[in-house]
Amino acid sequence: MRKADFNSVESIKNAFEGGEQFFLVSMPIIGEERVQMHKNAVDGAVAAGVKKIVYTSFLGAGDDENPALVTVDHRITEKYIQQSGLKWNFMRDSQYFESLLRYGLPDALNKGEWIFNYGDGKCAFISREDCAQTAVALLLGKGEDNTTYDVTGPELLSADDIVQITTEITGRPLRFVNKTDEEMYALWDSLGVPRNTDQGMKNSPIPWCSDDMVTGGRALREGLMAVLSDDVEKLTGQKRKTIREMIQQAYDRGEF
């Protein structure tokens, strides 16, 4: 077994010595520390003789005007990889629906309200399983080198659409309540969610900072997450999970 410390280029070089491809999953923090770890990973891969990197980026990373904070780190990392001399593929993933299944909908169903700043914006939410299958396909040589792929679900849905599907499956009343960005910050502050990840997330009730969630919600509200692509099916040859399927499966497992 080999271990790599993303704060050490030498550690990454030693871990990937002899490897030809590197699947780089973005670190679960936001800001300069994450960017530096990504750069260390790229430098270590180059030093180890790796030929290609497949990187999990995010929708909107190619748009300098996208307000979602998460896109900044991904944009910097993408450019760094492109300048490394390595072959690459970027998976610009849509929002993972499992995040809502675990941290959003169960609490919303208990309260009868799902509160967020999505407005009537739409998003093609994706399952983590479909993202994983897409990564495997790219690492096995599917697709074209030095190409970006939009990894999205099969349908564009609004928060109201998701609420309707959830109600149909569970039989429990639920409505979407849109909030302003300022109201969402106040809500997260009241729950003890930090605004950034600078001091760590150990005491946070959820694993995302409010700067990330609020700016992401704004991007969705402004239509910047309304991207629908069939890249997943082209690469994997498999149909993607629908939101209805994922909600039904979570309900059948007794998760809400």
On whether both 87 and 67 belong to a single domain, the answer is yes
Q: Cα angle vertex 135, ends 35, 80, to 5°?
A: 25
Cβ 219 vs Cβ 225: under 8 Å: yes
**Segment 192-204, tens digit of pLDDT:** 999 998 888 888 9
* Alpha-carbon gap, residue 143 to 129, rounded angstroms: 19
Which residues form the domain of 218? 95-126+152-229+237-256
Using CA atoms, how far apart are residues 28 and 208, in angstroms rounded to an integer?
8
Classify the phi-psi angles of 97: left when phi > 0, otherwise alpha if psi is within -120 to 50, otherwise beta: alpha
Q: What is the mean pLDDT of residues 177-187?
A: 98
Residue 140 lies in a domain: no
C-beta separation of 61 from 81 below 8 A: no
Mean of the pLDDT values across residues 79-104? 96
86 and 101 in a single domain? The answer is no
Task: Check residue 237 and give its pLDDT.
Answer: 97
Mean pLDDT taken over the chain = 96
Report the half-sphere exposure of 203 (CA within 13 A, side-chain side). 8
- Provide the pLDDT for residue 28: 87
Please tell me what DSSP assigns to residue 3: -
Judge if 54 and 3 occupy the same domain.
yes
Please state the rounded mean pLDDT for residues 92-111. Answer: 95
Which runs of consecutive H residues, i.e. helices, occur in 145-223?
159-170, 181-190, 210-221
pTM, entire model: 0.94
CA atoms within 13 A on the CB side of 57: 28
Q: Is residue 147 assigned to a domain?
A: no
Same domain for 21 and 31, yes or no, is: yes
Closest to 243 measured CA to CA, from 103, 101, 145, 140: 101
What tens digit of pLDDT does each residue of 141-176 get?
Answer: 999 999 999 999 999 999 999 999 999 999 999 999
The answer as to whether 145 is a domain residue is no
Give me the percent of the chain exceeding a pLDDT of 70. 100
Whole-number pLDDT of residue 2: 85
The verdict on 156 and 40 lying in the same domain is no
* pLDDT tens, position by position, 28-83: 889 999 999 999 999 999 999 999 999 999 999 999 999 999 999 999 999 999 99
